[in-house]
Amino acid sequence: MTGEQVAAPSSPRDGEDISITHGHRKTPDLKLGTMMGVFVPCLQNILGIIYYIRFSWIVGMGGIAESLALVSFCGLCTFLTAMSLSAIATNGAMKGGGPYYLIGRALGPEVGVSIGLCFFLGNAIAGAMYVLGAVETFLKAVPAAGIFRETITKVNGTVVPPIESPSSHDLQIYGIVITIILCFIVFGGVKMINRVAPAFLIPVLLSIFCIFVGIMLCRNNDPVEGITGLSLSTFRDNWSSDYQNTNNAGIPDPEGKVEWNFNAMVGLFFPAVTGIMAGSNRSASLKDTQRSIPIGTLAATLTTSALYVVSVLLFGALATRRTLLTDRLLTATVAWPFPAVIYVGIVLSTLGAALQSLTGAPRLLAAIANDDILPILNYFKVADGSEPYIATLFTAFICIGCVVIGNLDLITPTITMFFLLCYAGVNLSCFLLDLLDAPSWRPRWKFHHWSLSLLGASLCVVIMFLISWSFTVVSLALASLIYYYVSIKGKAGDWGDGFKSAYFQLALRSLRSLGASQVHPKNWYPIPLIFCRPWGKLPENVPCHPKLADFANCMKKKGRGMSIFVSILDGDYHECAEDAKAACKQLGTYIDYKNCEGVAEIVVAPSMSEGFRGIVQTMGLGNLKPNIVVMRYPEIWRRENLTEIPTTFVGIINDCIVANKAVVIVKGLDEWPNEYQRQYGTIDLYWIVRDGGLMLLLSQLLLTKESFESCKIQVFCIAEEDSNAEELKADVKKFLYDLRMQAEVIVVTMKSWDVNVDGSGGGQPDESFDAFNAAQGRIADYLSEMKEVARREGRPLMADGKTVVVDEQQVEKFLYTTLKLNSTILRYSRMAAVVLVSLPPPPLNHPAYFYMEYMDLLVENVPRLLMVRGYRRDVVTLFT
């Protein structure tokens, strides 16, 4: 849209309308100024428009009063659109593509392409309207050239001398031939068209002069019957409206099937004000778009509106209503010195307008194709400086199809809808940019305001429904289908559009409104921080464990929520900055591939521990900070003898506890199901400590996924043998009921800490007890080695770089408690789809190696386990 708001991608279409090739060097043609580039093209079609929308006929049907209202209503719409157009066009460099370029850079590629294609269709169909206007004028001037005849004798129920109207078959035949001829001219290139353009200007100006001179010289019944000259009596007679039925040719007929009212008149007249885009369509050929477009467009709009108002007053005082309704070429009848001047002017002006449509529409289509947003339009791409021949043929095909219809009154409402869509898009673009008021929004045209742009857009929509609600629905549906198709099949393009700015400001405002206070449990959403740094090595070009994104999606309800995927690169930031950017891009691609809503972040740090400590402190903004840390359990640490893992793992958990972050550690991630692998059985929760309801919430979120929706929840409560198990079970059931959660409650009793740890009387499975014995032996060996080193070096016991005090009885107690929990899980949940268990915090003054032994014993032989630690707040609420 602007040179500062968006760095527009270089495309082959830039400047294609004004370049010619001399050998291998492209030399720009002479750039057009305000007069020839904008003002003249807008005025060039005025006379033809006055004719082929039958301006005198509109005055006769609607009367002077409603005709003035019609001109004012439509003129206000186009004036406001011209104001919006001027503001956007002066906010930086404007390249080729006309309104499509402006709308696309303001509202995004999807909206730009959908409205741009509709505007292309409008221009292509307008070409047919101009051709039909030229043919009808020619056949009225030279009746002998007609192959067919059509005579209409009924006018207001009275038999009058036959009124000849060109046959629709003549319009079709001549229209097709002329369209083909114009296409051959267009194939000659823009240079040829620019050279012949002045030939259309002189007839337009001469015809306007002859019409107004002729009106001033008219007398009663001179030059024909029904002409009163400028008469106050005629003015009063024609002041009110007199809507009548007509045939398809527009001749009043009591038995006619075409009904007319003010709404229909809007559809017929509005094409008369659509020339305001002529300057912006030539944006690539203008010397100074930021000066030419505002001055030329607004000057042409005001001149046109003034001419229409004067024409309404003059035609209303010039002839009787019957003459206004039946004389199809009243402008030629009253012209001075003879009608032939007007016939020539009308034919040339309408052919010139048709030529401009057949020239501009293909270039608009080529500009859309060259932006490479919609792959299906690749056939219409053109190289820099080349002519869009295929797009021209396609435009001609559409134009010929509309010419075959052969009726102007059926074509004009279609054109109106497409042009109104474009005008609404321009107004909405200016409204959005004005309302957002981004730092880059500094148009040189100062006479604009968001309220005026909104009014202009509203007028466009109102006019669309006034004309025809059915045409409006069809046109909006067509634009919506194109938008939907572009959003699905189109390539992503970032043009710095206004919607992105709106999203940014909305995000900032929402972030401020959330404040810094804690979020209420009813509004709590999990924002997982997915720790992608692997314990070990992943295959090359694999930035993250393939199942981590699947698990992250399981923590969201209906896909709502955000995940932050983070990884850490060891090293110096200055040396690894480029590697970090590449890794971040690779990780982002992985997230998109897994259809996971989230962002990728790569942090460079001297070590994993330091990197994670920085992440957990700084990641996020306000209340949008991650609240759950998710990582894979390091099952490989003993198998691959990775002795540094225990210290790092325990350090990460302690950092999360200090930062008040919840923790979810996944064991068995390799077997975690994707969305297509349906699970059966139960989701078992071993609720040992209060965690704010996080474990319960995670189980409910799992049930919302297709893979787990067939499972049932079981809640296991651990109780001492001497406690009242039934009372505990009833309390938990009541708590779950208040939380609107359905689950089966099972109370498991465990022996007290005084039970012997030699395995006698415990009834533990052999596999758990074997793991317990092995852990005991490894801990004893590790402790003996620590004591030997301390004795040899004459210092206290040291582990993980700090002094520790080991209570061997407490170590045995931790081991035995873990053994009991593991054996209980294996007894009740061996066939569960997934098991959730409270994560015990690392004991103070215990070496990290001991904690890893506790955890290994806890997860022993459990295929799929989630270890969950909440934080100091509730995430579920008892109240709605």
The CA distance from 127 to 354, in Å, is 4
Confirm if 604 and 577 have CB atoms less than 8 A apart.
Answer: yes
Check whether domain 518-666 has CATH 3.40.50.620, yes or no: yes
**pLDDT value, residue 13:** 34
Show the DSSP H helices in 539-606 as ranges: 548-554, 573-593
Q: How confident is the model over 798-819, as a mean pLDDT?
A: 81
Q: Are 281 and 98 in contact, with CB atoms under 8 Å apart?
A: yes
Look at residue 461 and tell me whether its pLDDT is greater than 90.
Answer: yes
Burial status of residue 639 (CB atoms within 10 A of its CB: 0-12, 13-18, 19 or more): exposed
Strands (E) in 495-534, as ranges, are 528-531
Query: By mean pLDDT, which of 89-98, 616-625, 651-660 is the weakest?
Result: 89-98
**Residues facing residue 727 across a β-bridge:** none
**21 three-class SS:** strand
C-alpha–C-alpha distance, residues 2 and 9, integer Å: 12
150: pLDDT strictly greater than 70 = no
Write b or e for each residue in 241-261: b if 16 or more Cβ atoms lie within 10 A of its Cβ, otherwise e: bbebebbbbbbbbeebebebe
Round to whole Å and give the CA distance between 748 and 771: 22
pLDDT at 8: 33
| pLDDT (0 to 100) of residue 258 | 79
Are 31 and 286 a contacting pair, CB within 8 Å? yes
Tens digit of pLDDT for each residue in 67-97? 999 999 999 999 999 999 888 888 876 666 7
208-266 tens-digit pLDDT:
888 889 888 888 877 777 888 888 999 999 999 988 888 766 677 777 777 888 888 88
pLDDT of residue 751: 54
The pLDDT score that the predictor gives to residue 460 is 93
Nearby residues of 872 by Cβ (< 8 Å), 6 or more positions away:
660, 692
Determine the Cα–Cα distance for residues 142 and 346; give it in Å rounded to an integer.
14
Phi first, then psi, for residue 495 (nearest 5°) are: -105, 15
510 Cβ contact partners less than 8 Å away, ≥ 6 residues apart: none
Biggest CA–CA distance in the chain, Å, is 131
Topology adopted by domain 45-150+162-489:
Amino acid/polyamine transporter I (1.20.1740)
Q: Please work out, in degrees rounded to the nearest 5, the angle formed at the alpha carbon of residue 419 by the alpha carbons of 29 and 450.
A: 95
Residue 681's nearest CA partner among 554, 551, 820, 828 is 828
Domains 518-666 and 668-753+768-879 share a fold: yes
Q: How confident is the model at residue 752 (pLDDT cuts 50, 70, 90)?
A: very low
Sequence-distant (6+) residues with CB within 8 A of 181 are none
Average pLDDT over residues 47-67: 74
Which amino acid, residue 457?
A: A
DSSP 492: P
Q: In this predicted structure, what is the pLDDT of residue 72?
A: 92
> Residues 572-616: pLDDT tens digits?
888 888 988 988 888 888 888 888 888 888 899 998 888 888 888
Length of the chain (residues): 880
Three-state SS at 666: strand
**String of DSSP letters for 440-507:** T---S-----HHHHHHHHHHHHHHHHHH-HHHHHHHHHHHHHHHHHHHHHSPP-----HHHHHHHHHH
Report d(CA 714, CA 109) in Å as an integer: 50
User: Using 50, 70 and 90 to split pLDDT, how confident is the model at 519?
Assistant: low
Buried b (16+ CB within 10 A) or exposed e, 604-633: bbeebbebbbebbeebeeebbbbbbbbbbb
Which of 298, 315, 381 is CA-nearest to residue 13? 381
Concatenated DSSP letters for 738-758? HTT---EEEEEEE--TTS-SS
Spatial CA neighbour of 589 closest among 581, 615, 485: 581
Model confidence over 340-379: pLDDT tens digits? 888 888 888 888 888 878 888 888 888 888 888 888 888 8
How far is the C-alpha of 329 from the C-alpha of 336, rounded, in Å?
14
C-alpha 466, offset from chain centre: 29
pLDDT score of 54 more than 50:
yes
Confidence category of residue 64, pLDDT binned at 50, 70, 90: very high
pLDDT in tens, 526-546: 888 888 877 767 666 778 887
Residue 573's pLDDT is 87
- In the predicted structure, residue 418 carries a pLDDT above the cut 60: yes
Categorize the per-residue pLDDT at 15 as very low, low, confident or very high, splitting at 50, 70 and 90.
very low
Element (H, E) at 525: none
Query: For residue 65, is pLDDT > 90?
Result: yes
Q: What is the pTM of this model?
A: 0.70
Q: What pLDDT sits at residue 26?
A: 37
Task: Indicate the domain borders of the chain.
Answer: 45-150+162-489, 518-666, 668-753+768-879
Q: How far apart (Å, rounded) are the C-alpha atoms in residues 812 and 304?
A: 96
Question: Would you say domain 668-753+768-879 falls under CATH 3.90.25?
Answer: no
- What's the pLDDT score for residue 462? 92
Tokens standing for residue 592: 């998109």
150 class by beta-carbon count within 10 Å (0-12 exposed, 13-18 middle, 19+ buried): middle
Q: What are residue 568's phi and psi, to 5 degrees?
A: -125, 130
Beta strand 528-531 pairing with 628-632: parallel
Q: Please compute the mean of the pLDDT values over residues 141-164 and round it to a whole number.
A: 61
Complete edge-to-edge strand list for the sheet that includes strand 834-838: 598-605, 563-570, 528-531, 628-632, 662-667, 865-869, 834-838, 682-687, 712-720, 744-750
Tokens of 223: 């030059």
Please state the φ and ψ torsions of residue 604, each to the nearest 5 degrees. Answer: -100, 125
Report which DSSP code applies to 159: E
Specify the 3-state DSSP secondary structure of 165.
strand
21-50 pLDDT, tens per residue? 333 333 344 455 545 555 655 555 444 455
> Residue 800: is its pLDDT beyond 80?
no
**pLDDT given for residue 27 in this prediction:** 35
**The tokens of 378 are what?**
């690749």
Q: How big, in percent rounded to 5, are the helix, strand and coil portions of the chain?
A: 55, 10, 30
Average pLDDT, rounded, for the chain: 79
Q: How high is the pLDDT of residue 1?
A: 39
- Cα–Cα distance between 412 and 267 in angstroms, integer? 7
| pLDDT top residue among 409 and 458 | 458
Report d(CA 238, CA 324) in Å as an integer: 10
pLDDT(668) > 50: yes
| Beta pairing class for 802-803 and 834-838 | unpaired
237 close to 321: Cβ distance less than 8 angstroms: yes
Residue among 474, 373, 370 nearest 420 (CA): 474
Amino acid at 481: L
- In the numeric block, the tokens 């270890």 are attached to 867
pLDDT of residue 843 exceeding 80, the answer is yes
- Helices 808-828/766-793 angle, 10° precision: 160
Q: What is the pLDDT at residue 164?
A: 64
Regarding beta strands 598-605 and 802-803, do their DSSP bridges make them parallel or antiparallel, or are they unpaired? Answer: unpaired
CA-wise closest residue to 95 among 8, 159, 192, 35? 8
